[in-house]
Chains A and B, each alone.
Chain A
Amino acid sequence: MGLTAMLVGSISGTGLQMMNNALQKVPLSRRPWLHVGYFFLGGYIGQRWVKLEKELVIDINEIRADKGLPPMIATNAWIKYENPE
């Protein structure tokens, strides 16, 4: 899962720089170091994104447990979530 997110993030990071160049009406490969930079930045952001989602799901399930509710539907299918009890 982390690998997919990283891949999507990296590709879209590079694509963003290409779109950025297209928006300024310069050739798509202008400023290639930015392509590389956004590639790595995008990968990092993708990983953080997935991590944030997981943390949110765990937090929400904790809060739901505090309020006496079962965990969210399809939590297990989505991430490996263990009930604290």
Chain B
Amino acid sequence: MLIFKEIQLLPEIFLGISIIYLIIHGTFISVNNKYLLIQNSILYLSILIIAMFCFLLLNNSIEYNNFQIFNNTIILDYLSFSSKAWIALISIFCFLMVQRYLAVQKINYFEYSVLILFALLGIFFICSSNDLITAYLSIELQSLSFYIMAAMKKDSAFSADAGLKYFILGAFSSSLFLFGSSILYGVSGTTNFEDLKNLFFLTYLEYESIYGVDNYSFVKHVFIDGGLIQFALVFIFVSLLFKLAVAPFHLWSLDIYEGSPSSSTFFFAVVPKLAIFILIIRIFYSSFFEYSIKWRYYIVVVAMLTVIVGSFGGLEQKKLKSLLAYSSISHMGYTLIAFSTGTFEGMQSMLCYLFLYMIAGLCIWSIFLLLQLKYKYSKKQNKDLTDLNLLSKSNNILALFFSTVLLSIAGLPPMVGFLVKIGIFLVSIEASMYFVAILSILCSVISTFYYIRIVKIMYFENSVAGKLYYPIQSNISILVVCLFYFLLFLFVNPTLIYLFSYKITLLLTMTVV
């Protein structure tokens, strides 16, 4: 097994080859017989492909081994393994949820699911990239398919607008990433994360303790230009924050979430955040941990700004989608707070928060897609908050689910959102970031307002006529019920998710904590 260890990348290679087969298959079928709608069959085929991907991944047995293959550009460790498995699972759910929406909105292009598969390929490569070049290429693959997915609703001007905006800003952030990595390459002469880790292992902390603070400048001049490295790190960090839609760089996300078709928004909001965070962990936590004294500060500032913007910005929103966009922004802020502590527990609670964020996001967006209004113009895709008027009368259980998920996101006790959120506050207090903790708790209270307002609209609005909805398919509704159940059940028994994240963090950190 060790002789030909490149075969460990078999799942991704399988995914890539099957994408090409899908394109050929779909093209030949749709060219030969005109008007043949193969959207659904291709979608099920892509679900099958992702399931096969999961199967191959789980059979890989690379639990602890820290394989670095393909000239050390691909890393296969437990972090990449578990995140890939989790993302694949979530994306299967996404595919199932999206299917009916696509049929209603008449997005009858088989390329849509192929594009999602392309994005997933990019995301999986981000998870296991160990090299700045690989990271850049995989981010490009992921975001290029996202641009096209945003512009996929051809008869809508908003969708084309969103695609163009996403393209321009994404290209901008990619260029920032390239600029930062070129500076990094110029300073260090390598793009490999492992080499960077070895290179900068002792530069900062250790020399300070060996030579004393006064002689530190000597070390700095002899070995590495620290200022230039920080310059490069800021650029890389900013470009990754663009991808995450974090506060000073969040302005694209609202328009794009609002404009692009809801199925694409579902995908943008839920799936890629974990992968980008894994890249951030690999660059900042693994490779440049010695610079953590420096990068901590700007991550804290960005995180606080994000939490404040996410909490206050959502108050004014009338549309459900942009409200959810603001909620996603504030969640990224909480996750960054946990990351900025740089401690073992911080990593653990951050991973927990991301996993639960993905479950809750999946649940909330799938309920959003389930609420197909029976309008005369049924193509209306952006829901106002008032569209949820008296949902409790028309479908009580769905209203219950929706309010439960919203309260779980807000972090109220009988749901699992409470546990992960309090984990983040405890971690930040433990790292003696008291001010940050207090401010984020206050912002969390403020952001609860707009979640509760939706609950109020659903239950207590004084209006005569509610809205009518299409009936719900059984295969989709069981998924929603399962997700809702897990949100409640994980509060009672959160052991598995804590153990899982603990194991990941334990294998991630080299040193004994």
Are A56 and B395 in contact, CB atoms less than 8 angstroms apart?
no
State the majority secondary structure of interface residues on B.
helix
Give the number of chain A interface residues (Cβ < 8 Å).
23
One of B401, B472, B478, B506 near A64 (C-beta < 8 A): B506
A19 adjacent to chain B (CB < 8 Å): yes
Contact of A56 among B401, B481, B489, B500 (CB under 8 A): B500
Q: Determine if A60 and B485 form an interchain contact, defined as CB atoms under 8 angstroms apart.
A: no
Q: 1/0 per residue B388-410: CB within 8 Å of A?
A: 00000001011001000000000
Point out the residue from A49, A53, A60, A69 that lies within 8 Å of B512, measured CB to CB: A69
What CA separation (Å) do A71 and B281 show in the bound complex?
A: 26
Complex interface bits, B457-486 against A, C-beta within 8 A gives 1, otherwise 0? 000000000000001101001101110110
Counting chain B CB atoms within 10 Å of each CB, which of A20, A23, A59, A67 scores highest?
A23
Say if the beta carbon of A16 comes within 8 Å of chain B: yes
CA distance A19 to B64 in the complex (A): 40
Q: Which residues of B contact A56 (CB under 8 A)?
A: 496, 499-500, 503
Name the prevailing secondary structure of the A interface residues.
helix
User: Which of B397, B477, B495, B503 contacts A59, CB < 8 Å?
Assistant: B503
Q: Is the CB of B512 within 8 A of A16?
A: no
Residue of B nearest to A5 (CB): B493
Whether A20 contacts B496 in the complex (CB less than 8 A), given A12-B489, A68-B512, comes out as no
Contact with A along B494-513 (1 / 0, CB 8 A): 01100110110011000010
B residues in contact with A36, CB < 8 Å: none
**Residues of chain B contacted by A57 (CB below 8 angstroms):** 499
A residues sitting closer than 8 Å to B (CB atoms) are 12, 15-17, 19-20, 22-25, 31, 49, 52-53, 56-57, 59-60, 63-64, 67-69
18 contacts between A and B (CB under 8 A): A12-B485, A15-B485, A20-B477, A20-B478, A20-B481, A23-B480, A24-B472, A25-B471, A52-B496, A53-B499, A56-B499, A56-B503, A59-B503, A60-B502, A60-B503, A63-B503, A67-B506, A68-B512
